Structure 1
Amino acid sequence: MAADRTAPGADTLAAPTVDVHAHVLLPEVEALVAGLPGLDEARALDARRNGPDALAVSGPMVRERVPRLTDPAVRLTAMDSQGVDIQLVSPSPSHYHYWADEESAEKVYRLANEATAAHCSAAPDRLRGLGLVPLQHPDHLVPALDHALGLGLAGVEISSHAPGRELSDPAYEPFWGRAAETGAVVFLHPFGCTLDERLDRWYLSNTVGQPTENAVALSHLIFSGVLDRHPALKVLAAHGGGYLPTHIGRSDHAWATRSDAGAGCAQPPSSYLRRLYFDSLVHDPYVLRELVRVAGAGRVLLGSDFPFDMGTEDPVAALRAARLSDADFHAVRGGNATALLRKD
C-alpha cells in the first residue's frame, strides 16, 4: 500500500507555527475603486446584508486594527505575542470588488497582488502572501493567477461565488487546471451571503452566513466533479469549511440514494474532504476534533483570522483545547502548512 502523504509525520514536531488565515488591508485598492460606477451599489448591498447594528460595530473595530492590518512591524510584534512564526497573508475580502468591469478588475488584481507582495517583502522569512483574481471575469483568472505567482505569492484568495456564477461554473475550468498545474494555494474565503436581509440582525450575516457560504461553495466543487478532474488542486477553506464537514453524512446519503445528487462526482462526498484543506478556526474544540476526524489530521491547518474580532487572539491555545494527539497537534500547528507552502 502506498504511503499516506497527507498524514502527519515526525518532522512536524520541529515545524514552525504557521497561521494560514491572516489578512492585510490595502488602502491603495480602495483609492483605485473610489468613484467607479458600481461601487456605491455594492456597498449598499453589503449594508443591507449586514444591517445597521453590525455596521456600527464593525467600523470602529476595523479602524482600531488598522495598524496590525497595514504595518508589517506591528504585525510581526503581534505574531510574536501569539507564538506564530509565519503568516499566510491574504487581502481583506472587502477588496474582491466582483462588481468591477474588466478594465477595472485587472487594475484591482494587479494592484492587490503587488501591494500584498510588497507588504510581505518586509519579512520574507515570516510572511507569505496570497493575491486576488476577478471571479466575475473568468477569462482573466489564469492571467491573474500567473501574475500573483510571478510576484512570489503562494496562490490566490477567492470568495464562495461571483454574481451569477458558482464555483462549479464550467467557465472556471481553465483556472482550476492552472492552479493544479502550478501548485498554487486557492484560499476559499466567503464575503457576503446570498441570504441577504434574512441575516441582517445580530451579526448573523457572519456567524451563519460565512459557514453557509463555505458549505455551499465546497459542495459545488465536490458534486460537480471539479476535484475529480483536478486531483492536485490545493483548495484551503476558511472557517473549517463551514457546516459541511460536520454534516457531510447528509451529502453522502443524497449521493447514494438520488440519481441527481450522484451524477457529478465519482466518489461519496465525504471522501473529498481528504482532498481539501481546512483552517482550524471553528471556535469549538469538539468541532475541531470532528474536523480532524473527517478530513484527516494532515488536512487541517492553524488559522486565526488575524486581526479581526471574529478570529482568535491565541490560535495555538484554541488548537490545544481540542486535545489532539501530540502528532496531530504539531501537524495542525505548523507541519501541514509548512509542507503545503514549501517552494518546490
Structure 2
Amino acid sequence: MAVTGSVRAGVIDVHAHWLPRELLSLPPGSLPRGMHDRDGELFLGDHPLFVTTEAMTDIEAVVADTLKAGLGARAVSAPPFVFPVHAPAEADDYIATYNDRLAEAVSSTGGILVGLGLIRVDDVDAARREMNRLTAMDGIAGVAVPPLVQGQSYGEGVMRDVLAAATDTGLAVLVHPMQLPRPEWKDHYLTNLIGNPVETTTAVASLLLSGVMDELPDLRICFVHGGGCAPSLLGRWEHGWRSRADVRQGSAHPPTAAFTHLYFDTVTHDPEVLRLLAAHASRDRILCGSDYPFDMAQPEPVRFLLDNGLDAATLEANGRQFLGIAPRA
C-alpha cells in the first residue's frame, strides 16, 4: 500500500482538492487557459471560482481547515479542471510533477492528509506506469479520474482497462465530474448544478450495466456528490434490466445488486437525498465527502452526517477501507 504511516484517527473526508501554485497553469491543451490568483481569489480564465487561492494551494491552510471541520483526515486530489483530457499525450510531465508535489505535501502533514494522484485515462500503458510510480510514493492512496472523456465512460475500451490497472495496483479510484459545457446549461451555473450529477450518473450506469464489477470485484471506486442522480434512477435501471435483453446483456447481476459494491460520498446537500442513498448503497460503502474548498462544498461535513443518522466510527472505518489504510487499533 502507498499509505504506510499512521493516519490520524477520526472521520476521513475522501473528497477535497489541492493544487500547488506552480501548476495553476493547468495541463497542455486545457480550456480556459489556466487558473490564476487575483488579490487572493482564484479565477479559472476570467471566471471567479469563489475560492481563496490559499485554500486551494497552501497545504498548511488545508490542514488547518481539516482540523477546524472536525475531521480526522482528508484525502486531497486535483480540481477537475486539471484532469489531462484535452491533450493527454502532452501532459505526462505535468502529471508527474503534480504527483511528486502531492506526495511531498501530504507526507509532511503527520497523517492528516493523504493523496489521490493524477493519471491519463486515454492510454492504459501510460496510466499503469504512473500508477506503479504512485504505489511507491508514501501518502498516496489512489487516483482521481473524470467520469467521461470524448463520449466514452468506464463500460468499454481504454477507460475500462484503466480500472483494471487500478485494481491490479491496489489503488482506490475517485470519480469526479468536470462540468462539461452544453448550450442549454450556459446560464445559472447549470453546468455544475445539473451537469456534474449527470456526468456522474452516466458513469455509474456505464459501470453497472457493462459488468465491470463482475469482472473487477476488488475494485474500490467512489462516485462523488452522492452518486449524482443514480440513487433516484436505480429503480428505473432495474426495471429496464429485467425487461430488456439489450440492457442486461453486459451484466450478470441486476443494477441494485451491483450498486452495493460501489462507494459513494455524502455531498448531497439534502438529508432526504442522503437517506435515499443510504437506502440503496451498502452501509460500508458510504464515505464522508466535502468538496473542499469549492463554493458547492458541504460546509460542515461531519455534523451533516452525524445529524442525519450516520455514525463516526462507521464513517472512519469506511474511509480507511476505501483508501486501503489499515484499520485503527
TM class by smaller structure: 0.7 to 0.9
Matching residue of 2:14: 20
SS at match of 1:43: coil
Matching residue of 1:292: 278
Judge conservation of contact 1:72–1:122 (CA < 8 Å) in 2. Answer: no
Matching residue of 1:93: 80
Mapping 1:328-339, distance limit 5 Å: 328-339=310-321
- Could you tell me how far 1:69 is from its partner in structure 2? 1.5
SS at match of 2:174: strand
Cα distance in structure 2, aligned partners of 1:233 and 1:78: 31
- Identify the match of residue 184 of structure 1 among 165, 171, 177: 171
- Could you tell me how far 1:198 is from its partner in structure 2? 1.1
Segments ≥4 residues shifted beyond 4 Å: 54-58
Which runs of no fewer than 5 residues in structure 1 stay unpaired? 1-13, 45-53
Matching residue of 1:49: none
Cα distance in structure 2, aligned partners of 1:294 and 1:186: 20
Cα distance in structure 2, aligned partners of 1:256 and 1:239: 27
- Identify the match of residue 226 of structure 1 among 204, 212, 216: 212
Question: Residues 319 and 57 from structure 1, CA distance in 2 versus in 1: closer, same or farther, beyond 3 angstroms?
Answer: farther
Q: Compute the RMSD of aligned alpha carbons.
A: 2.3
Which runs of no fewer than 5 residues in structure 2 stay unpaired? 1-7, 34-42
- 1:68 and 2:62 correspond: no
Deviation by residue 1:106-150 (Cα, 9 ceiling, x = unmatched): 112211211211221220411100001112333311112222222
Question: Residues 231 and 60 from structure 1, CA distance in 2 versus in 1: closer, same or farther, beyond 3 angstroms?
Answer: closer
Deviation by residue 1:151-194 (Cα, 9 ceiling, x = unmatched): 23111000011124322222234422221223211000010236
- 1:59 and 2:48 correspond: yes
- 1:163 and 2:154 correspond: no
Question: Residues 219 and 271 from structure 1, CA distance in 2 versus in 1: closer, same or farther, beyond 3 angstroms?
Answer: same
Residue type of the alignment partner of 1:335: A
TM-score with structure 2 setting the length: 0.87
- 1:249 and 2:241 correspond: no
Higher helix share: 1
Mapping 1:54-203, distance limit 5 Å: 59=48, 61-62=50-51, 65-102=52-89, 104-152=90-138, 153-193=140-180, 196-203=182-189
Question: Residues 128 and 16 from structure 1, CA distance in 2 versus in 1: closer, same or farther, beyond 3 angstroms?
Answer: same
Cα distance in structure 2, aligned partners of 1:76 and 1:17: 14
Deviation by residue 1:76-127 (Cα, 9 ceiling, x = unmatched): 221221111200111111111311141x221122112112112212204111
Question: Residues 279 and 60 from structure 1, CA distance in 2 versus in 1: closer, same or farther, beyond 3 angstroms?
Answer: closer
Judge conservation of contact 2:123–2:158 (CA < 8 Å) in 1. Answer: no
Residue type of the alignment partner of 1:305: D
SS at match of 1:162: coil
- Could you tell me how far 1:288 is from its partner in structure 2? 0.7
- Identify the match of residue 308 of structure 1 among 287, 294, 297: 294
- Could you tell me how far 1:332 is from its partner in structure 2? 5.0
Cα distance in structure 2, aligned partners of 1:108 and 1:219: 31
Cα distance in structure 1, aligned partners of 2:49 and 2:220: 35
- Could you tell me how far 1:215 is from its partner in structure 2? 0.5
- 1:271 and 2:257 correspond: yes
Question: Residues 176 and 314 from structure 1, CA distance in 2 versus in 1: closer, same or farther, beyond 3 angstroms?
Answer: same
Q: For structure 1, which segment, 334-343 or 90-99, has the greater mean C-alpha deviation from structure 2 after superposition?
A: 334-343
Question: Residues 296 and 304 from structure 1, CA distance in 2 versus in 1: closer, same or farther, beyond 3 angstroms?
Answer: same
Cα distance in structure 2, aligned partners of 1:260 and 1:32: 40
Count of residue pairs brought into register by the alignment: 310
Residue type of the alignment partner of 2:203: A
- Could you tell me how far 1:56 is from its partner in structure 2? 9.7
TM-score with structure 1 setting the length: 0.84
Judge conservation of contact 1:15–1:335 (CA < 8 Å) in 2. Answer: no
Matching residue of 2:40: none
Cα distance in structure 2, aligned partners of 1:56 and 1:179: 33
Residue type of the alignment partner of 1:168: G
Question: Residues 58 and 313 from structure 1, CA distance in 2 versus in 1: closer, same or farther, beyond 3 angstroms?
Answer: farther
Which structure has more relative contact order (CA 8 Å, sep 6+)? It is 1
Cα distance in structure 2, aligned partners of 1:257 and 1:272: 17
Deviation by residue 1:258-279 (Cα, 9 ceiling, x = unmatched): 0110100111101111111000
SS at match of 1:288: helix
Cα distance in structure 2, aligned partners of 1:56 and 1:146: 33
